[in-house]
Amino acid sequence: MIKILIVEDDPMVAEINKHYLEKLQGFELTAVARSFSEALEVLEYDDIDLVLLDIFMPGKNGLDLLAQIRKMGIGIDIIVISAASDIPTVKKALRFGAVDYLIKPFEFDRFEAALLTYKESLRIMDKKRLSQEELDQHVLYKSPVQGANELPKGISKITLQSMWGKMEELQGGLFTTEEIAQQAGISRVSARKYLQFLVDLGVLDMQLIYGSVGRPIYKYQVHEVKKEVIKDYI
């Protein structure tokens, strides 16, 4: 479980981030801090893996906190979530080692992509050795070769890659929306959107299964002949 600290002085924004976080599997909110001093206190006593950090706060700001964390040598990762979009602020945050930067306001899909990318990078870093492809895609957050086709609005490449990887692990087996959502660590609502995209693309077949009890449910299966099409998108 990845332990999260939200550093945000606006209670409403903090609640939104908390709500978004609850939609994702594998993450646990440890605390919410509203200031520089509160955040340092949490970091001193709690084992935190990732900080979701705002920049604008009363007194010392988020960049001050990020600098202090690095000065103290605390081994922790940072995703900046802020309305600050000026180049000097973004550059400074990245120089201090922020692994991602979300500019307010943002949609859940962008939040989801940032957290799932981070989660996948932790999984990859558990390995003893990395391939260049793994390093590029999951640690450096970029891919040297982009897909030939653009994804529709609301479809994240990172999330699509994660879901497709889980589907391939099933080796042609049938699965439901709920099953793939749990495996990919995303909400069922998000999973349905990605599944529909893959059905429209032709790489997934959808079947209506009638059970002995209850309502019929939809199950999906990778189309073995057409599945190569997905390579143009991931």
Nearby residues of 67 by Cβ (< 8 Å), 6 or more positions away: 96
Domain boundary, last residue among 77, 99, 123: 123
Give 150's DSSP letter: P
**Domain housing 47:** 2-123
The answer to whether the beta carbons of residues 33 and 39 sit under 8 Å apart is yes
The answer to whether the beta carbons of residues 121 and 139 sit under 8 Å apart is yes
3-state secondary structure of 124: helix
**pLDDT per residue as tens digits for the range 83-138:** 888 889 999 998 898 989 998 888 888 898 889 888 888 877 777 777 776 666 65
* Model confidence, pTM: 0.64
- The domain spanning residue 105 has which CATH number? 3.40.50.2300
Q: Are residues 117 and 9 in the same domain?
A: yes
- The domain spanning residue 166 has which CATH number? 1.10.10.10
Q: Is residue 174 part of a domain?
A: yes
* Mean pLDDT of all residues in 76-81: 94
Q: Are residues 119 and 161 in the same domain?
A: no
Q: Are residues 114 and 161 in the same domain?
A: no
Looking only at Cα atoms, what is the longest distance across the chain? 63
* Mean pLDDT of all residues in 76-80: 94
**How far apart (Å, rounded) are the C-alpha atoms in residues 14 and 224?**
44
Q: Are residues 109 and 12 in the same domain?
A: yes
**pLDDT per residue as tens digits for the range 24-61:** 989 999 999 999 999 999 998 889 999 999 999 888 99
Q: Are residues 82 and 176 in the same domain?
A: no
Indicate the average pLDDT of the chain.
85
Q: Are residues 74 and 174 in the same domain?
A: no
